[in-house]
Structure 1
Amino acid sequence: MHGSEHKDGMHSTPEEDPRPKLWRRFLGSIAIFGVMVGLMIGRLTTPDPLELQTIEVLPAGVAVWFNREPQLHGEMIEGTVALLFNAQGAAQRGTFKLNGRDVRWRVQKSDKGLLLTLLATRPLRGDWHGAAQNGRWRLEVSLREE
């Protein structure tokens, strides 16, 4: 062969491959598949968000139910019992009787979670303790007048 011209269908330079280049498409599909599998695994391993489920009135306080244990900060400020939870939930309110006197409770959203406030006409003192029950977390708040 003396040149690159065609002679009887034979030449020295190879013809261009008419098949499309699939390597880039293959690598792109593998990358997309990897991202999707990673997102699914991440979704399966992420715990459920912490939620306030219900508030139950007790004879001497309230019981607050969560789907798992929350971080809690509680204080007694000028006769009011205030508990701050790092949870999600709806704003609620209600009343109950303690020694024949009304006690009002209110749950409101704050920038750090939910704030439970217990207020009565007389100054209140409170104790709280929590425990796991039936796969949920129960926080019992016991109140007494000062």
Structure 2
Amino acid sequence: MLSLVTAGLMLGLMLGRLLAPVPTAPHLLGAEAQGEALLLRFDQPAPVRAGQLEGALAIVVDANGETREGQFRLAGQPLRWRVEPRGSSLWITLLSTRPLQGEWDSTEEQGEWRLRILAKPR
């Protein structure tokens, strides 16, 4: 009797592993300038780390996606941004003629996870 219970349990565990959805990494859906902020859209939430690199604002998101770049104006000065894949992460760099500092926030809207990066001159 105990062997039947054990066999049933093992069979259930094996079927559960086979039929369970495979977790996937977040994927970048789009990136665009929105006023004086950069808006990134992902299909699901992703871990974010931020820092500064020689006056530029650098943000690393544990997600995958394609290279994108653009520019907008911040306090009348040009600001260039670039999203590029490096390993299993996306590196987002914001660069201006003046040193930058910044903050970011995230929201979930319409089934997407949105990361809004607001850069400010130091």
Asked if TM exceeds 0.5, the reply is yes
Q: Higher strand proportion, which one?
A: 2
Count of residue pairs the alignment pairs up: 110
RMSD of aligned residue pairs (Cα, Å): 2.0
Q: Which residue of 1 aligns with 2:71?
A: 95
Q: Which residue of 2 aligns with 1:132?
A: 108
Tell me how far apart the structure 2 counterparts of residues 106 and 96 of structure 1 sit (CA, whole Å): 12
Structure of larger gyration radius? 1
Q: Which residue of 2 aligns with 1:17?
A: none
One-letter amino acid of the counterpart of residue 32, structure 2: E
Tell me how far apart the structure 1 counterparts of residues 76 and 47 of structure 2 sit (CA, whole Å): 32
Contact 2:64 2:88 in 1 (8 A): no
Q: Which residue of 1 aligns with 2:33?
A: 57
- Unpaired stretches in structure 2, ≥5 consecutive residues: 1-14
Q: Which residue of 1 aligns with 2:99?
A: 123
Q: Which residue of 1 aligns with 2:19?
A: 41
Q: Which residue of 2 aligns with 1:86?
A: 62
SS in 2 for 1:63: strand
- Deviation at residue 70 of structure 1 after TM alignment: 0.4
One-letter amino acid of the counterpart of residue 41, structure 1: L
Q: Which residue of 1 aligns with 2:119?
A: 143
- Unpaired stretches in structure 1, ≥5 consecutive residues: 1-36
Greater Cα offset, 105-114 or 88-97: 105-114
Which of 1 and 2 has higher RCO (CA within 8 Å, sep 6+)? Answer: 2
SS in 1 for 2:19: helix
Tell me how far apart the structure 2 counterparts of residues 46 and 135 of structure 1 sit (CA, whole Å): 19
Tell me how far apart the structure 1 counterparts of residues 43 and 29 of structure 2 sit (CA, whole Å): 7
Q: State the TM-score, normalized to the length of structure 1.
A: 0.68
Q: Which residue of 1 aligns with 2:4?
A: none
Q: Which residue of 2 aligns with 1:113?
A: 89
Q: Which residue of 2 aligns with 1:72?
A: 48
- Deviation at residue 38 of structure 1 after TM alignment: 6.6
Q: After TM superposition, where is structure 1 displaced by more than 2 Å over at least 4 residues in a row? A: 37-40
